[in-house]
Amino acid sequence: MKIAFFSTQPYDKAFFERENKNKKFTYQFFTAPLDSHIVHAVDPVDAVCVFVNDKVTREVVEVLASKGVKIIALRCAGFNNVDLDAAKAFGLAVCRVPAYSPEAVAEHAVAMLLTLNRKTHKAYNRVREQNFALQGLLGFNLHGRTVGVVGTGKIGKAFARIMLGFGCKVLAYDLYEDRELIDLGITYVSSDVLYDRSDIISLHCPLTPDNMHMIDKTALDKMKEGVMLLNTSRGGLIDTVAAIDALKSKRIGGLAIDVYEQEEKIFFKDLSDTIIEDDILQRLMSFPNVLITAHQAFFTDEALTQIARVTLENIECLLQNKPLNKDAAL
């Protein structure tokens, strides 16, 4: 079984090699993302394995189909970067890893919240410079605060549970209510009520054509003055220009993002020697109350092991016409 990997990082190679001890699979690794140019370099393979920023457009799908590729295997949960209609039309199966470690992402969201609130990133640098002053490091207690969780699927649920453990009141907005969360004391409200009442808002819903820029000026205007906004889901959920205006007007008191709408040209690369041309990202990075990580919320040993294992299982099942695990087929 032959697989071509795109956007390959050293850790992808390491974890996928580790899960292929019996050499059932043959790998071809590309560091470049899959796009309409590199797709022409794909050798005859059974599957292409892609990540969050590979652009699997109709054009790409058509070339893959012409080369006899049968499967587009996402080594992630989100699939907004794949044209599913085109895949169906050209007869390619699409699979993903629906739940590799919801805790990995939820815990990273909490890490970002604690860092941004208690400014441990600044304290770390200060102390190393022998600056032991506290001025400028003031935070607030999470205990007793209201946290709004948008999207209470696997990750949102894990995040909500952790917040309950901190002694927060948790509000949730989702298209479907989760009985287990209601039993734990979480209250489902409309998005407007969630925006109005939450001190902290964390986004955990997928990006779909319907909710692109769901956090726009209108939504931000409904939020509490000084709200702390977290996004570990997908960059396109937030209208970044509107968020910058809201940071300037102090409507947003803190913004922590692990995802950014224009991230595909920037994230997962070492650009320390180059000039970043994205002025919006540069403006974001200039705020003292903005914390950015480069799509690393999933990045734990447990998650990478599970991603490699499930991706290979998905490909094997599809090639052998066996049913996939729940939610893995798209």
H/E segment holding residue 95: strand 93-95
Three-class SS of residue 31? Answer: coil
H/E segment holding residue 123: helix 120-128
**Shorter beta-carbon distance to ligand NAD: residue 152 or 198:** 152
| Catalytic residue list contains 234 | yes
DSSP per residue, 155-199: HHHHHHHHHHHTT-EEEEE-SS--HHHHHTT-EE--HHHHHHH-S
**Shorter beta-carbon distance to ligand NAD: residue 46 or 174:** 174
96: phi then psi, degrees, rounded to nearest 5: -145, 180
Give the alpha-carbon dihedral of 270, 203, 214, 269, to 10 degrees. Answer: 10
**Shorter beta-carbon distance to ligand NAD: residue 45 or 255:** 255
Q: Is 171 in contact with 193 (CB distance < 8 Å)?
A: yes
Candidate list 234, 251, 261, 264, residue with the active-site label: 234
As measured in angstroms, the least distance from the Cβ of 227 to ligand NAD is: 17
DSSP per residue, 206-246: PP-TTTTT-BSHHHHHHSPTTEEEEE-S-GGGB-HHHHHHH
Question: Which residues are CB-neighbours of 323 under 8 A, at least 6 positions away?
Answer: 317
**Shorter beta-carbon distance to ligand NAD: residue 173 or 195:** 173
* Spatial distance between the Cα atoms of 282 and 158, rounded to a whole number of angstroms: 32
| Catalytic residue list contains 295 | yes
Residues that bind ligand NAD (CB under 6 A): 77-78, 99, 102, 105, 150-156, 173-176, 204-207, 211, 232-234, 258-259, 295, 297-298
As measured in angstroms, the least distance from the Cβ of 126 to ligand NAD is: 28
Candidate list 19, 261, 263, 264, residue with the active-site label: 263
**Shorter beta-carbon distance to ligand NAD: residue 207 or 238:** 207
> In this structure, are strands 200-203 and 47-50 parallel, antiparallel, or unpaired?
unpaired
Q: Which long-range contacts (CB under 8 A, 24 or more apart) does 160-165 make?
A: 160/184, 160/186, 161/106, 162/106, 162/107, 162/110, 163/110
As measured in angstroms, the least distance from the Cβ of 298 to ligand NAD is: 4
As measured in angstroms, the least distance from the Cβ of 228 to ligand NAD is: 17
As measured in angstroms, the least distance from the Cβ of 109 to ligand NAD is: 8
**Shorter beta-carbon distance to ligand NAD: residue 45 or 72:** 72
Q: Is 34 in contact with 48 (CB distance < 8 Å)?
A: yes
As measured in angstroms, the least distance from the Cβ of 82 to ligand NAD is: 13
**Shorter beta-carbon distance to ligand NAD: residue 71 or 215:** 215
| Catalytic residue list contains 19 | no
As measured in angstroms, the least distance from the Cβ of 16 to ligand NAD is: 18
Q: Which residues pair with 173 in a beta bridge?
A: 150
Catalytic residues: 234, 263, 295
